[in-house]
Amino acid sequence: MFIDYKIDDLTNFPKNLEQLLDENRKTIAKLLEQETITYDNFMKPMQEMEEKLDTFFSPLANENGVNSTDEVQKAYSDCLPLLSKYYSEMTQNEKLFHALERVQKQQDLTAEQRELIDQEVRDFVLSGAKLNTEDKKRVEQIDLRQSELSNTFSQNLLKATNAFEMEVEEKDLGEMPQSDRAAAKNDKGGYTFTLQMPSFIAFMTYSPNRQLREKLYKAYNTRAPENAEVIDEILRLREEKAKLLGFENYAQYSLQTKTASSVQEVNDFLTRLGEAAKQGAKEELEELEELEELEELEKFAGRKLESYDFAYYSEKYKKQKFDFNEEDIKPYFEKNSVLNGLIGVVSELFGVSFAEVEVPKWDEKVRVYDIDDGTERCRIYFDLEARKKKRGGAWMADFQAHYAKRSGEVSPASAFVVCNFAPSSEDNPSLLRHDDVVTLFHEMGHAIHHLFSKVKERGVSGIHGVAWDVVEFPSQFLENFAYEAAVLKRFAKHYQSGETIPQHYLDKIKAGKNYNAAIGLVRQIEFSLFDFKLHQKLYQGEQIQELLDGIRKQYTPLLPPSYNRFQHGFAHIFAGGYSAGYYSYKWAEVMSADAFFECLTDEGFEREKAKGYKEWILQRGGSANMNELYRNWLGKDFKVESLLKLYDIKAA
């Protein structure tokens, strides 16, 4: 049964949440009192309890993004400490851990049940549940200190980012788009640029003033030098925690929650990809250096380009060779036409049907569909247009999960897809950029991974229980179709004339995607190898810079200036969740590229392969290792060469 989207009492929501959490605590206590603990009498009620909590809180979490009023923000903020305390209690509950261990010893578990209970026990073990009292206390101290250090890293970076401003004149803006000019306009009649990413990118891409580009570049890449000491302590603590838990290094510890089987496998993967792409990156840079306008740089010793020149001249070359006016193609991507086209693509690829339904929703422009595969239904909510009080960006969030209840009833899956496309009005439709089309396909890829699940155990159904390094696989897989001419021609029709988008636009869309792709790839390899090698032994002080410099010399065709201290701002690994896991971006992208080519034909789709993708990948959720599911689907492992093919990079 689908649950209606509703928030009954916003004012008392935190109070009602606290009451529900207290009920859960009592339920857990009663379950732990059972003389005999089994999967059916312990894990099943635990999953139903968790689903009840999630479906209660999800509407408020969603409202905080799509309708963030003061009342919503207050209720949401008041709920977070309650949830944090509850989940902290769960992870520290030794009786709960021992009960899970008893279930794990049960011999008659299904494969899905086995995967779920193994994941639950693993997470407790990685938190120190099996350590002696002294070591357990030390792990808790390490976790607390790491949390403090990550926050310090972020605050140092934020403070340094906000502290820098650079005032420039209009002549320094070059061909900068009007929207970026407007954002930089100050009340003195000039323009102010900062180290905030949109401002930084705009100036580095469009300003013809080389001296000011270097000034901004140097300020950005020497931010927060005090983070050097923070990084040293973070790395010491990570190394200590990993060894307390019985691992050789932190990289090995990190891989326990990922699909990659060993440190060596990731090392080999990144090295193969880097070696394959570095010649293409060198050739892309050499081609750029042939740009006539670069002759003005020949007077600079040794080389035409510096790192602070790259974005500027790269944009000039792109305009000269590939560019087209984005405004010219937007009339071919009217929002409703694109949505209907996406629905058609998913329907044909995976043998499902969509039916729009009228159900409770948070805005009149939200469109809701039930998806039917002939045996079961799932539900998707599309909220695609920007509006006031809606957070920027795009995302997919789950509402309900597909799983089998103790009663025998199967709970259906539901999910939200949220974007921020240009708003429509009575007089004007919502017209999308091609990047918006890609975004919608990407988020839909996440959504169907959740919605198409056939898994009976909630904790590994849909997006639940999916390993970190493959969570982007289904989204990247589907977004790849948004660049294919055979797919775009199905729905890219001029909203007034009905004319199909001309081929020359489709060619430029594809060429633009592949422009400087090898340079972009080796840059991601640089980040990934630095992160992963940094966590294979303890690096301190200048050793960190030496490691980064060595990787750059091996793969990067355009070496940065010696003052570049990129690591002091690498928040992904020092203040985010990507430590010893930044490789995940490329791991998932290679897998998605390999799968994409298996399902692509000149006409659009290879339906039998897509059927297998649905059966082995989308319907299995987190119920098995994704590498194993991939082999079951295609009888082979994914190949790094597929990513090179996707971006038309010639392997070395």
Q: Which residues are catalytic?
A: 443
Return d(Cα 114, Cα 170) in angstroms, integer. Answer: 64
Rg (CA), the chain: 26
**For residue 112, is it left (φ>0), alpha (ψ between -120 and 50) or beta?**
alpha
**For residue 430, is it left (φ>0), alpha (ψ between -120 and 50) or beta?**
beta
Look-up of token digits 């992963």: 532
Return d(Cα 191, Cα 173) in angstroms, integer. Answer: 9
Q: What is the DSSP string of 148-164?
A: HHHHHHHHHHHHHHHH-
Return d(Cα 511, Cα 37) in angstroms, integer. Answer: 59
Return d(Cα 261, Cα 274) in angstroms, integer. Answer: 20
Return d(Cα 373, Cα 352) in angstroms, integer. Answer: 5
146: amino acid identity, one letter: Q
Question: Is residue 485 exposed (0-12), middle (13-18) or buried (19+ Cβ within 10 Å)?
Answer: middle
Q: Which of 650, 639, 555 is nearest to 598 (CA)?
A: 639
Q: What is the DSSP string of 82-140?
A: HHHHHHHHHHT-HHHHHHHHHHHT-SS--HHHHHHHHHHHHHHHHTTTTS-HHHHHHHH
Return d(Cα 608, Cα 599) in angstroms, integer. Answer: 8
| 202 close to 173: Cβ distance less than 8 angstroms | no
